[in-house]
């Protein structure tokens, strides 16, 4: 009774605290912003996957050396293949597909300024008449703070040259993520606070609303821009760096360094499944954190700028669709359960599970808040993550650089994530091991809830009653 009461108290406290964190307005703003901007990243990732896996004539899955090797079959040798028109055509198509990155990944920070400032304005200043004006001044503040003077080393040159009155566009990408969020958020806050204090130019009622709002935004806008001009001056005067450079050094690099540790990975993977077991969607808490860390790693991997192992792409690959890996408990139930209800749930859940939709089994069995399945549910995700990590560390597969839609079934997604049959093999190992984890607990469920035995007894009793009835009638 005491243990049960203690467990219930722990569940209640954990759910309450996690629920409060998940409902935090700033975290929700960050989460929603990253989810929206992720649409462009997904398109870019999909394009890069097509480029790397299907079109690449050198290392692709279809024509290249890592896949079916159709290039050599067509031309007779790899040397001859590289001189064919098809090889050059595929290279050109691949380069054109790669341009998608210029409108998404390479401008990630700029897109984030737009999305975050709009989301921030809507959540924190819902009474604002025009949220897009906030976006306008956030963009203005961001470009004010950009380095307009920097050093550049041309190809073949030995010394860098000073470039004046041009933006250092490297901060448009992943290097400018923290700057984009902090500058745009602060700009929106300043602008709307002045609006709320009604320090604006008032126009007569006869003036059209759109024109009146433009004049209304002038004083708050001028003050907002002025603040960032002053901040830029202070930053460059006292530190020698612009604000994006300063934020990159002081905040972004330390955050990325922490997210690259094994401890960060362990905490994220264990708490991810723990939150799911309590019925709390882990994206609400980890989404904003990953947005500031592992998502940056994703983008750098997709652009070929780095080869980070820890990333959300790697998590999606190894734990299958961000930890859902729903096919594992479903397979375990189909193979080992003797309970009629569990069998029925598993059969209904099979098709959604193939496409990584876990709700039918997690809520239908249920697994959520079910003490019997607490251990396998908690263990399966970190175990899958570390199996993937092992195969990456030993060099069997490389860091994940392709972005694959989360609904792509396991095994096929492994093939696409890595662009290699080895990715399929690693996911097959993960699915087998995580399915096996559920075996003793399904057997335990059979013993604790022997509904088949009960049904068999009921059937037997029914048959005996029918037999007695027939005997009495005779």
187-215 pLDDT, tens digit each? 999 999 999 998 888 887 777 777 888 88
Residue 334 vs residues 343, 347, 438: alpha-carbon distances, Å? 6, 7, 11
Task: Tell me the pLDDT tens digit for each residue of 250-286.
Answer: 998 999 999 999 999 999 999 988 888 887 778 878 8
pLDDT at 13: 77
pLDDT at 430: 95
Instruction: Give, for 88, the enclosing helix (H) or strand (E).
Output: helix 85-98
Averaged over 174-182, what is the pLDDT? 91
Residue 463 has pLDDT above 90, yes or no: no
* Whether the Cβ atoms of residue 150 and residue 247 lie closer than 8 Å to each other: no
pLDDT at 322: 65
Tell me how far apart the 2 most distant CA atoms of the chain are, in Å.
111
Q: Where are the alpha helices (DSSP H) in 370-450?
A: 374-393, 412-418, 421-448
Q: CB neighbours of 328 closer than 8 A, spacing ≥ 6?
A: 380, 431, 434, 435, 437, 438
Q: Nearest-CA neighbor of 302 among 102, 96, 110, 65?
A: 102
* Whether the Cβ atoms of residue 175 and residue 247 lie closer than 8 Å to each other: no
Range of lowest pLDDT (148-157, 329-338, 413-422, 444-453):
444-453
Averaged over 38-46, what is the pLDDT? 79
Which residue's structure tokens are 């806050």? 189
Residue 468 has pLDDT above 70, yes or no: no
Q: How confident is the model at residue 453 (pLDDT cuts 50, 70, 90)?
A: low
Q: Nearest-CA neighbor of 433 among 344, 300, 319?
A: 319
Residue 321 has pLDDT above 80, yes or no: no
Residue 161 has pLDDT above 80, yes or no: yes
Q: Is 451 helix (H, G, I), strand (E, B) or coil?
A: helix
Averaged over 352-372, what is the pLDDT? 82
> Rounded to whole angstroms, how far apart are CA atoms 233 and 209?
36
pLDDT at 213: 80
Which residue's structure tokens are 């202070």? 234
Q: Is 325 exposed, middle or buried (0-12, 13-18, 19+ CB in 10 A)?
A: buried
Q: In this structure, which long-range contacts are made by residues 119-122, counting pairs with CB atoms below 8 Å and at least 24 apart in sequence?
A: 119/29, 119/32, 119/33, 119/36, 120/29, 120/33, 120/184, 120/185, 120/188, 120/189, 121/188, 121/192
* Whether the Cβ atoms of residue 128 and residue 193 lie closer than 8 Å to each other: no
| 215, two tokens | 């004049």
Which residues share a beta bridge with 149?
Answer: 164
| 459, two tokens | 């059937």
Q: Is 66 helix (H, G, I), strand (E, B) or coil?
A: coil
Residue 147 has pLDDT above 70, yes or no: yes
Range of lowest pLDDT (62-66, 149-153, 463-467):
463-467
**How many residues are listed for the chain in this entry?**
474
> Rounded to whole angstroms, how far apart are CA atoms 68 and 73?
9
Residue 439 has pLDDT above 60, yes or no: yes
Over the chain, what is the mean pLDDT?
86
pLDDT at 116: 94
Could you tell me which residue, 281 or 441, shows the higher pLDDT?
441
| 279, two tokens | 């019925």
Q: Is 474 exposed, middle or buried (0-12, 13-18, 19+ CB in 10 A)?
A: exposed
pLDDT at 106: 87
* Whether the Cβ atoms of residue 157 and residue 222 lie closer than 8 Å to each other: no
Could you tell me which residue, 363 or 443, shows the higher pLDDT?
443
Q: Is 461 helix (H, G, I), strand (E, B) or coil?
A: helix
Which string of b and e fits 94-132 if b means at least 16 CB within 10 Å? Answer: beebbebbeebbbbbbbbbbbbbbbbbbeebbeebebbe
Averaged over 23-42, what is the pLDDT? 85
Residue 107 has pLDDT above 70, yes or no: yes
Q: Is 462 exposed, middle or buried (0-12, 13-18, 19+ CB in 10 A)?
A: exposed
Which residues share a beta bridge with 151?
Answer: 162
Phi–psi pair at 339, nearest 5 degrees: -85, 130
Averaged over 34-61, what is the pLDDT? 82
* Pairing mode, strands 149-152 and 161-164: antiparallel
* Whether the Cβ atoms of residue 270 and residue 277 lie closer than 8 Å to each other: no
Averaged over 409-419, what is the pLDDT? 89
* Whether the Cβ atoms of residue 372 and residue 340 lie closer than 8 Å to each other: no
Q: How confident is the model at residue 223 (pLDDT cuts 50, 70, 90)?
A: very high
pLDDT at 7: 67
Q: How confident is the model at residue 222 (pLDDT cuts 50, 70, 90)?
A: very high
Residue 455 has pLDDT above 80, yes or no: no
Range of lowest pLDDT (122-136, 298-312, 315-329):
315-329
Can you count the helices (H) and strands (E) in the chain?
Answer: 23, 2
> Rounded to whole angstroms, how far apart are CA atoms 244 and 256?
16
DSSP letters spanning 27-87: HHHHHHHHHHHHHHHHHHHHHHHIIIIII-TTT-TTTSTTTT-HHHHHHSSHHHHTTSHHH
pLDDT at 473: 60
Could you tell me which residue, 54 or 422, shows the higher pLDDT?
422
Averaged over 228-256, what is the pLDDT? 92
The domain limits of the chain are: 13-103, 109-242, 259-454
Residue 387 vs residues 308, 318, 436: alpha-carbon distances, Å? 17, 7, 14
For the whole model, what pTM was predicted?
0.77
Range of lowest pLDDT (121-135, 145-159, 388-402):
145-159
Which residue's structure tokens are 């002045």? 194
Q: How confident is the model at residue 342 (pLDDT cuts 50, 70, 90)?
A: confident
* Whether the Cβ atoms of residue 319 and residue 384 lie closer than 8 Å to each other: yes
Q: Nearest-CA neighbor of 117 among 39, 178, 29, 53?
A: 29
> Rounded to whole angstroms, how far apart are CA atoms 98 and 91?
10
Which residues share a beta bridge with 161?
Answer: 152
């Amino acid at each position: 009774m005491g243990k049960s009461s203690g467990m219930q108290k722990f569940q209640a406290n954990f759910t309450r605290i996690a629920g409060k964190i998940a409902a935090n307005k700033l975290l929700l703003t960050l989460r929603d912003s990253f989810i929206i901007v992720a649409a462009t990243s997904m398109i870019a990732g999909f394009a890069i996957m097509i480029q790397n896996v299907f079109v690449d004539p050198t290392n692709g899955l279809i024509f290249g050396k890592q896949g079916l090797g159709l290039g050599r079959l067509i031309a007779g040798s790899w040397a001859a293949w590289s001189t064919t028109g098809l090889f050059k055509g595929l290279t050109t198509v691949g380069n054109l597909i790669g341009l998608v990155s210029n409108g998404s990944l390479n401008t990630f920070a700029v897109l984030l300024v737009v999305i975050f400032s709009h989301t921030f304005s809507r959540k924190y200043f819902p009474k604002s008449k025009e949220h897009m004006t906030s976006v306008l001044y956030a963009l203005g503040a961001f470009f004010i703070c950009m380095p307009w003077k920097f050093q550049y080393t041309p190809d073949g040159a030995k010394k860098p040259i000073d470039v004046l009155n041009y933006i250092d566009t490297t901060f448009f990408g992943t290097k400018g993520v923290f700057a984009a969020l902090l500058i745009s958020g602060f700009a929106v806050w300043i602008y709307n606070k002045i609006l709320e204090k009604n320090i604006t130019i008032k126009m007569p009622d006869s003036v059209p609303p759109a024109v009146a709002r433009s004049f209304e935004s002038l004083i708050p806008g001028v003050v907002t821009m002025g603040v960032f001009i002053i901040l830029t001056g202070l930053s460059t005067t006292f530190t020698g760096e612009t604000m994006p450079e300063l934020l990159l050094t002081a905040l972004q690099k330390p955050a990325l360094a922490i997210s690259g540790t094994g401890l960060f990975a362990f905490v994220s993977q264990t708490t991810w499944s723990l939150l799911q077991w309590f019925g709390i969607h882990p994206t609400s808490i980890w989404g904003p954190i990953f947005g500031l860390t592992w998502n940056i790693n994703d983008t750098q991997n997709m652009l070929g700028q780095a080869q980070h192992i820890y990333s959300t792409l790697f998590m999606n690959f190894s734990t299958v669709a961000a930890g859902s890996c729903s096919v594992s408990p479903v397979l375990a139930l189909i193979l080992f359960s003797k309970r009629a209800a569990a069998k029925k749930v598993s059969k209904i859940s099979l098709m959604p599970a193939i496409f990584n939709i876990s709700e039918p089994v997690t809520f239908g069995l249920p697994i959520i808040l079910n003490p019997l399945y607490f251990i396998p549910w908690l263990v399966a995700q970190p175990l899958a993550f570390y199996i993937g990590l092992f195969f990456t560390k030993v060099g069997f597969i490389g860091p994940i650089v392709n972005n694959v839609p989360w609904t792509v079934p396991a095994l096929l997604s492994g093939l696409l994530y890595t662009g290699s049959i080895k990715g399929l093999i690693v996911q097959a190992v993960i699915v087998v091991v995580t399915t096996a984890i559920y075996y003793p607990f399904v057997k335990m469920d059979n013993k604790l809830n022997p509904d088949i035995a009960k049904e068999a007894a009921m059937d037997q009793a029914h048959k005996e009653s029918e037999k007695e009835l027939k005997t009495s009638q005779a």
